[in-house]
Amino acid sequence: MKIGAEDGVTVGGVEVMLELNGTVVYKGVEADTALANVIDLSIIVPCFNEGEMIYENLKKVENVLENILYENHLLSYEVIVVDDGSIDNTCLEVMKAAKEDKRIKVARKGNSGKGSALKYGFNICSGKLVTFLDADLDLHPKQIPLFIDYMKKYNADVVVGSKRHPLSKIKYPLNRRILSQTYQIVIRLLFNLHLRDTQAGLKLFKFEVLKEVLPRVLCKRYAFDLELLINANRRGFKIVESPVELNWQRIESRIKLKDVWRIALDTAAIFYRSKISKYYKVRK
């Protein structure tokens, strides 16, 4: 299977590479081509070196959506997998799933972090509602309908999964628990944000929120979630927390000391933009 920028052609303003059997791979998306209201739900899955589990996990996503979205009057969906520079077989596995289900789309680019991948995926999505879903499925997509219910019930613009919601059921290692709790305490001290968890890998947005907020989100890696939520909050969008069931899937966490250091630096930069340069202007 050949994947290369030299094969790129432009379709609807997006540079794409057409695979031999017709699977479309989006590459080099520069322009903002997102079109709201074309379909009901877009699920964006950031994916880096997940070859071992991504095919199976995309099948799980597909099953869930087939079975439960109909009950929620969501008739159409797309899954956009953003694989930026994986060095394992992720791309082949995603392409296999995409060939079997045309609602799965593949976006590829050079590696620049989870946040950057989500932003990139948004550029080619077209759902009225947009979900961010981590590829490891620590948070199973069967929880999406609950998020949709919360959005309706609380008239919210954004619903975030929260490991610290009183109704959440959480299974993950102690070291990750401590890291997560410490980060949320730091956030509480630095920012006036009334959320107990900014980092969970399942979130639901109205399309318009991301359209307005993402251009002001500069972090490319894990602090992206925090910056996005601060920005949405400053602009007056209503964010509510949903309980989640988290079942840890990895043998070992991928978050290393280097990532913690990067998160700390990015968080300091967000503090500067939020409190000093007032980069996230409040909506009038």
Tokens of 95: 């392409």
Q: Which residues pair with 129 in a beta bridge?
A: 41, 206
Which one of residues 114, 163, 165, 203 is an interface residue with ligand GTP (CB under 6 A)?
114
The residue (of 34 and 81) whose beta carbon lies closer to ligand GTP is 81
Amino acid at 207: F
Q: Does 258 bind ligand GTP (CB under 6 A)?
A: no
Which one of residues 177, 250, 278, 281 is an interface residue with ligand GTP (CB under 6 A)?
250
Amino acid at 128: K
217 binds, among ligand GTP, Mg ion, none (CB under 5 to 8 A by kind): none
Which residues in the 72-111 window bind ligand GTP by CB under 6 A? 82-84, 111
Q: Does 246 bind ligand GTP (CB under 6 A)?
A: no
183 binds, among ligand GTP, Mg ion, none (CB under 5 to 8 A by kind): none
Task: Name residue, tokens 């980060």.
Answer: 183
Among the listed residues 205, 85, 162, the one whose alpha carbon sits nearest the alpha carbon of residue 214: 205
CB of 253 to ligand GTP, least distance (A): 3
E strands, the chain, are 8-11, 14-18, 24-27, 39-47, 77-83, 104-108, 127-133, 158-162, 169-171, 202-206, 239-243, 245-247
Distances (CA, A) of 151 to 77, 161, 232, 239: 18, 12, 15, 9
The residue (of 43 and 156) whose beta carbon lies closer to ligand GTP is 43
The residue (of 112 and 249) whose beta carbon lies closer to Mg ion is 249
Q: Does 53 bind ligand GTP (CB under 6 A)?
A: no
Binding site for Mg ion (CB under 5 A): 136, 138
CB atoms within 10 A of CB 43: 27
Q: Does 113 bind ligand GTP (CB under 6 A)?
A: yes
Binding site for ligand GTP (CB under 6 A): 46-48, 50, 82-84, 111, 113-114, 117, 134-136, 138, 176, 201, 250, 253-255
